[in-house]
Amino acid sequence: MFVASTLFVMSTSPSAADPADPGAAAVPPPPWRKAARPSSRRPLSTGAVVEAALRIMAEEGLAGVTMRRVAQALDTGPASLYAHVRDKQDLHELMLDEVFADAPVPVPDPGRWREQLREHTVAQVRVLLDNPGSAEIAMRTMIPTTPRLMAQMDAQIGILRAGGMTPEEAGAAGDLLALYGTAFAFEQELHGGPGQASGAEDAARRIGEITGYLRSLPEGVFPHLAALVGGMAPGRGDPMRHFEYGLDAIIAGIERAAGRESGT
Amino acid sequence: MFVASTLFVMSTSPSAADPADPGAAAVPPPPWRKAARPSSRRPLSTGAVVEAALRIMAEEGLAGVTMRRVAQALDTGPASLYAHVRDKQDLHELMLDEVFADAPVPVPDPGRWREQLREHTVAQVRVLLDNPGSAEIAMRTMIPTTPRLMAQMDAQIGILRAGGMTPEEAGAAGDLLALYGTAFAFEQELHGGPGQASGAEDAARRIGEITGYLRSLPEGVFPHLAALVGGMAPGRGDPMRHFEYGLDAIIAGIERAAGRESGT
DNA sequence: ACTTGCCACGAACACCGTTCGTAGATAGAA
DNA sequence: TTCTATCTACGAACGGTGTTCGTGGCAAGT
């Protein structure tokens, strides 16, 4: 019964607009084989949509995550997704939340707050870098509304409070660290190349061009820049080293700013 | 003479393709009036395209800057733009360059490098904030290839060198400052609302929602976050104050990192 | 058994960036 | 001057995009 009616709809759907249709439709599709396919489990929950979207992002980058592409992966049409996801933006935020699914949520330890802050921030950035595309979402979201991201933020502020900061100081410092971490990860995935995009190649070409241009210029036009490009290689070293340079600078600055006001 | 030949060509061009054409063509187009329109000044240079694009960005945000929209503003078709601009990305970079047209390029003064660095960075961010949409371009560009942006970067590195840093230190510090400035401006324009977008309203709604959600939770789930939202208003104060907090922290950190290695 | 609400989804709408081919203008050569 | 070659402008179209509408079948409440 179920199968039959389904098949009926499928085979006649083009002519469904024409109720008075005899058997004249081009080849009455004998679909014995087909029967199994449409009834083969279609849960199609929010979770399934997010999961499919994440898989696509991992393989084809964030730009590959289109509603049509996700729908196709779940073999259905794009309209079906909107029952489980409000927007594309909403889908993005759910993806970001899922990405942080197994990131640890540290409990603040006053005696170790500096190390904890460093480790926590590094861990967050590592999550973003491990999931290319997620940093772009994070950049565009900034105010977290999903539970896991709120837990991360809460932990971070907890650590800063454990370091003796006032709520205001902790808020400002947390903003700064989150902004830096997110922006850094985004920049990395921009010209680090998420596997598929021309990122790395493009970046290399660009700094090649810029080097050539600088050399072609009369000496002393951009002297400091010219001095720099000499000792520069495109993708040298662990990006994390670079990140930690900035992180340490920021933490030191934060501490100093807090100490200046609270006297410690 | 000129006019006559122009008219001749125009009036006969349709029938030129069909040599065996009698007088039957639908109204042999008498184009006296027409002659003035196509010749009515259409320079359509790269500069004009960029200028139109910037005007649109100011009025409708970066999302409003579509090739079709820009073409319409110059009343032509989108295809015409591609003679003066390689890409949409190319157009974006030209726009960003133009935005920095009258930003001052400081000459490094060793005795004042800290103040200079601060002022220069603040000025750059102010330019981005004054031109909503530009920060998003800057965020997505990162490696400058246009002359004015290179001049800005050169000056910045010059200031850092004047502060006694090695080229490597200056490069890292410059990266960090540029990343921070760009990301900050982008975040501001995200939920600051570029006049047209729902930015501010959306941000307010979001922190309203999040506050309500936090209150609805059993006490002590996100304790630090809950303590924070109490003393938080959506758009309080000058965003620049916020920026300068982070900037001072970063400059202090940079200085410390440089001193640590070079011994000053 | 009937109604009601919900999920799936085909079709369509209004856009988007970009390319192709052609017509007109212009500049250089003869 | 006249012929040719090169360049600009641009209408039309291609292959995408996010999102909405309306319908049709299913399942649960009454």
What pLDDT shows up at residue B262? Answer: 60
Examine the pLDDT at B102 and tell me if it is beyond 70.
yes
pLDDT digits (tens, 9 = 90+) for B132-175: 999 999 999 988 989 999 999 999 999 999 999 999 999 999 99
Q: A-contacting residues of B 141-200, CB under 8 Å?
A: 142-143, 145, 150-151, 153-155, 157-158, 161, 167-168, 170-172, 175-176, 179-180, 182-184, 186-187, 190-191
Q: With an 8 Å Cβ cutoff, is B204 touching chain A?
A: no
Nearest to A185, CA basis, from A108, A257, A99:
A99
**How far is B135 from B51, CA to CA, in rounded Å?**
17
Residue B40 tokens read as: 């009515």
What pLDDT shows up at residue A155? Answer: 97
Long-range CB contacts for residues A197-201, cutoff 8 Å, separation at least 24: A197/A61, A197/A63, A200/A234, A200/A235
Contacts of B223 (CB under 8 A, 6+ apart): A154, A158
Backbone φ and ψ of B248, nearest 5°? -60, -40
A66 touches strand D (CB under 7 A): yes
Query: What confidence category does residue B65 fall into, taking pLDDT thresholds of 50, 70 and 90?
Result: very high
Of A145, A155, A171, the CB nearest to B206: A145
**How far is A92 from A146, CA to CA, in rounded Å?**
11
Query: What confidence category does residue B236 fall into, taking pLDDT thresholds of 50, 70 and 90?
Result: low
Residue range B109-125: average pLDDT? 97
Q: Where are the alpha helices (DSSP H) in A81-220?
A: 88-99, 113-130, 134-141, 147-162, 167-192, 199-216
**How far is B245 from B250, CA to CA, in rounded Å?**
9
Nearest to B48, CA basis, from B83, B17, B10:
B83
**Of B35 and B154, the one with more pLDDT:** B154
- Asked if residues A86 and A127 have their Cβ atoms less than 8 Å apart, the reply is no
What pLDDT shows up at residue A199? Answer: 57
Whose C1' is closest to the CA of A82: which nucleotide? D19
Q: Which nucleotides of C are covered by protein (CB under 7 A)?
A: 7-12, 15-21, 23-25
What pLDDT shows up at residue A154? Answer: 96
Of B145, B183, B228, the CB nearest to A171: B228
Please give, one letter per residue, the 3-state secondary structure of B58-104: HHHCHHHCCHHHHHHHCCCCHHHHHHCCCCHHHHHHHHHHHHCCCCC
What pLDDT shows up at residue A205? Answer: 73
Q: Any idea which residue has 């934060």 for tokens?
A: A254
Which amino acid is located at B188 in the chain?
A: Q
| All domains of chain A in start order, with CATH | 2-99 (1.10.10.60), 110-262 (1.10.357.10)
What pLDDT shows up at residue B40? Answer: 44
* Residue A108 CB neighbour total at 10 angstroms: 20
pLDDT digits (tens, 9 = 90+) for B163-181: 999 999 999 999 999 999 9
How much helix, strand and coil, in percent to the nearest 5, is found in chain A? 70, 0, 30
What pLDDT shows up at residue B200? Answer: 62
Spacing of A228 CA from D12 C1' in Å? 49
* 8-state DSSP, B20: T
Spacing of B46 CA from C23 C1' in Å? 23
Which residues does chain A have with pLDDT short of 70? 1-42, 192-202, 230-237, 261-264
Rounded to an integer, what is the distance from CA B251 to the centroid of its chain?
Answer: 25
Handedness of CA B37, B39, B40, B41 (dihedral sign): positive
Whose C1' is closest to the CA of B86: which nucleotide? C18
What pLDDT shows up at residue A212? Answer: 83
**How far is A105 from B214, CA to CA, in rounded Å?**
18
Residue nearest to nucleotide D24 (CA to C1'): A9
In chain A, residues with a C-beta closer than 8 Å to the C-beta of B232 are: 171
CA angle B62, B63, B66 (to 5 degrees): 95
Q: Any idea which residue has 């579509």 for tokens?
A: B66
pLDDT digits (tens, 9 = 90+) for B185-213: 999 998 765 445 455 666 677 777 788 88
